Structure 1
Amino acid sequence: MICGTDEAGRGPLAGPVVAAAVILDPARPIIGINDSKKLNETQREALSEEIKEKALYWAIAQCDVDEIDAMNILQASLLAMQRAVAALSVPPLKVLVDGNQLPRLKVPAEAVIGGDGLHTCIGAASILAKVERDRQMVAWHEHYPLYEFARHKAYATPEHLKLLELHGACPIHRRSFKPVQRVLKLIS
């Protein structure tokens, strides 16, 4: 009943920060779990489905753009992880958290730097969070096609920065992030 938790989406300029919490089943091992950043999209998608099928418990939660702008991305990331752990149908005995800071939890927890590559439960959480966030950004692309969110998932790529300058910020851009603030000051 050891839970891993991790987030995806701290660095992008738009969209939510998404977190997952996973308690794996030792009797049903999943081959290939790793830090989501070390896997390609096809691998993440396949592993995400297998994790959802084989894990004892899993949950996904998030903080939206307004929450990120109100409290800052670090606090929003911690809150998303707190929400994911709280959403599990059974409380874990302990939570392993990727990073060097802990969300507020009602159970014992340990911060593990680089944990998504060290503990499969954290790696599983990183995969679920990344896949969910990427799917949301593809869906947001349908609402705001000018920004090409399906391609860069709102990371600060040269392409995204160019589109942001060209079109200004849309409602899902994080106003507290400097590249977005610069554009808002240019156009206001």
Structure 2
Amino acid sequence: MLLNSYYKKGIECGTDEAGRGCLAGPVTAAAVVLPKRFKNPKLNDSKIVSLSNRTYLKEIIENEALCFGIAHIDNIKIDEINILNASILAMHDSIEQLVSIPDHILVDGNRFKTYKEIPHLCVIKGDGKYLNIAAASILAKTYRDAYMTKIHEEYPMYNWKQNKGYPTKEHRAAIVEFGITKYHRRSFRLLPEQLKLDI
């Protein structure tokens, strides 16, 4: 059973990102402040929640959260500052959008940079331990998936509506055949090691 939050005294937001390991598209982060008594048995790490339940949970979270924020950092910025810094920047930008300033930030993973001197705690696999991080993971994934589905229409040969920019065999084969697009991350090793089709 996931815990509602870590910080009990005041407002805590959970934050998480999606798309860190992709070859194309943005890294997307969300920050969510849930009511103290919020519970939902279906809410968990977005990676283990079905598409139908993610869609259902997105609506629940947006309707019941005290506030939330979403931020995309595009591939150009990722190439400029690297994926770790871009992931943290996305989380900072999503927190910046919150209507209520949090007293504490709960972060999925083990790396973060202090945001406006607000205390934070990094939790490895936190999206499977705390509801506010799990909620952020659901929003980050659903918003990023929607973004990738939209840009798929520009470059359907990469099938981003299916692989969402991750290095699937199909995606790597398409890069070998068609080259890279304006959405691909040039700082990632796209050729030749990452594109070997037997891995």
Deviation at 1:62, TM superposition (A): 1.8
Deviations 1:102-157 (A, max 9, x none): 13312111101110000000000000000000000000111111111101001000
Question: 1:173 pairs with 163, 166, 184, which one?
Answer: 184
1:151-170 superposed matches below 5 A? 151-170=162-181
**Count of matched residue pairs:** 184
Cα distance change, pair 67–45 in 1 and its aligned pair in 2 (3 A): same
Deviation at 1:29, TM superposition (A): 2.8
Question: 1:56 pairs with 57, 66, 74, which one?
Answer: 66
Deviation at 1:35, TM superposition (A): 0.6
Consecutive unaligned residues in structure 2, runs of 5 or more: 1-10, 195-199
**Native 8 Å contact 1:96 1:112 kept in 2:** yes
Segments of 4+ in structure 1 off by > 4 A? 180-183
- Secondary structure, in 3 states, of the residue corresponding to 2:14? strand
Q: Which residue in the other structure is 2:91 paired with?
A: 81
Q: Which residue in the other structure is 1:145 paired with?
A: 156
Identity %: 45
Deviations 1:149-168 (A, max 9, x none): 10100100001000111100
- Secondary structure, in 3 states, of the residue corresponding to 1:164? helix
Write 1 or 2 for the structure with the bigger share of helix.
Answer: 1
Deviations 1:37-63 (A, max 9, x none): 011111111101110000001110121
Inter-partner Cα distance in structure 2 for 1:118 and 1:66:
33
Deviations 1:47-87 (A, max 9, x none): 01110000001110121111000011000000000111111
Q: Which residue in the other structure is 1:69 paired with?
A: 79
- Secondary structure, in 3 states, of the residue corresponding to 1:143? coil
